[in-house]
């Protein structure tokens, strides 16, 4: 029985060596070696022949995001997903509310003519598509708010950059408030809104 196993093992080794033996018999003159020089680069780059996923992203205004790093207040948050994540310029961090309705209010520290609010999540496809119901309100004094975009369902999808753009009639505002009343992908432990970045644009 042991002899049979050794014969099978020896046969397997000979089969594995056949390509090497064949090359040795062919001689060095039949071997072709191609040397390819790697391009110099200091960062990972996308080859021109591959499409850029960002080409399908929802376009954002080219004007300044006047909400970035401005004072911000929000409803209760879950765990470590605090309100300061909302406008730190990094979609890898996010705010997650504890329940609904969830409110976020940005103090623009001045009066601006605003016409667009954009809400973003992490662009990674690991964030599955979700729909959140969102309304936008503005104020000049921080106390009296006027609705400029009524509550509506907006879908976040990695295919389009996991962002939504809400345009409305240009209006004077010193404060912008976003109210989220539902989220189809709300985590069971929180049942709340999720926003990585809130951006406000003017004319």
Which pLDDT belongs to residue 167? 98
Q: How confident is the model at residue 101 (pLDDT cuts 50, 70, 90)?
A: very high
Mean pLDDT of 162-179: 98
Instruction: With respect to residue 20, please indicate whether it lies within any of the assigned structural domains.
Output: no
Assess whether pLDDT exceeds 80 at residue 71: yes
- pLDDT value at position 144? 98
State the pairing for strand pair 197-202/102-120.
antiparallel
Mapping DSSP to helix (H, G, I), strand (E, B) and coil, where does residue 189 land? coil
Structural domain includes residue 5? no
**139 confidence band (pLDDT: 50, 70, 90):** very high
Distance of CA 138 to the CA centre of its chain: 26
Structure tokens, 128? 């599955």
What is the structure's pLDDT at 15?
64
pLDDT at 51: 73
Number of domains forming the structure of the chain: 1
> Under DSSP, is residue 173 helix (H, G, I), strand (E, B) or coil?
strand
Quickly list DSSP for 118-139.
EEE---STTS--EEEEEEEEEE
Say whether the peptide bond before residue 158 is cis (omega within 30 degrees of 0): no
In a domain, 84, yes or no: yes
Residue 11 lies in a domain: no
What's the token pair of residue 49? Answer: 């022949």
Of residues 23 and 178, the one with the higher pLDDT is 178
Chain centroid to Cα 26, Å, comes to 54
pLDDT at 28: 53
Confidence of residue 162 (pLDDT cuts 50, 70, 90): very high
Mean pLDDT within 114-133: 95
Tell me whether residue 144 is in a domain: yes
Domain range spanning residue 164? Answer: 63-202
Report the percent of the chain where pLDDT is more than 90.
68
Angle, vertex CA 28, rays to CA 26 and CA 34, nearest 5: 115
What pLDDT, on the 0 to 100 scale, is given for residue 5?
Answer: 61
What's residue 69's pLDDT? 95
Question: What pLDDT, in 10s, does the model give residues 8-50?
Answer: 666 656 665 555 555 555 555 566 778 877 767 777 676 777 7
Measure CA of the first residue to CA of the last residue in the chain; give whole Å: 86
User: Quick one: average pLDDT of 154-170?
Assistant: 97
pLDDT of amino acid 36: 74
Q: Is residue 30 part of a domain?
A: no
CATH code: domain of residue 100:
2.60.120.260
Torsion from C-alpha of 77, 80, 81, 84, nearest 10 degrees: 90
Query: Residue 183 pLDDT more than 70?
Result: yes
**What DSSP element (H or E) covers 3?**
helix 2-26
Concatenated DSSP letters of 4-44: HHHHHHHHHHHHHHHHHHHHHHH-GGG------PPPP-SS-
Task: Give me the percent of the chain exceeding a pLDDT of 70.
Answer: 80
Residue 142, in any domain of the structure: yes
The model carries a pTM of 0.75
Which sign, positive or negative, has the C-alpha torsion 199, 101, 81, 130? Answer: negative
Confirm whether 189 is domain-assigned: yes
Other C-beta atoms closer than 10 Å to the C-beta of 158 total: 19
**189-194-196 Cα angle (round to 5):** 135
């Amino acid at each position: 029985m042991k002899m049979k196993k050794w014969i099978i093992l020896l046969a397997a080794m000979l089969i594995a060596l056949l390509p090497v033996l064949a090359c040795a018999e062919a001689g060095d003159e039949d071997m072709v070696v191609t040397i390819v020089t790697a391009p110099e680069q200091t960062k990972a780059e996308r080859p021109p022949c591959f499409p850029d996923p960002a080409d399908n992203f929802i376009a954002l205004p080219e004007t300044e995001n006047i909400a970035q790093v401005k004072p911000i207040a929000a409803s209760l948050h879950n765990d470590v997903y605090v309100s300061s994540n909302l406008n730190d310029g990094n979609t890898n961090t996010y705010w997650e509310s504890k329940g609904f309705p969830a409110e976020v209010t940005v103090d623009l520290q001045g009066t601006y003519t605003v016409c667009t609010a954009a809400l973003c999540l992490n662009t990674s496809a690991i964030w599955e598509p979700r729909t959140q119901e969102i309304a936008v309100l503005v104020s000049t004094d921080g106390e009296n708010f006027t609705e400029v975009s009524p509550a509506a369902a907006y879908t976040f999808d990695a295919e389009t950059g996991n962002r939504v753009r809400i345009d409305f009639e240009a209006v004077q505002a010193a404060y912008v408030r976003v109210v989220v009343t539902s989220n189809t992908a709300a985590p069971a432990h929180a049942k709340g809104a999720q926003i990585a970045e809130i951006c406000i644009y003017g004319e």
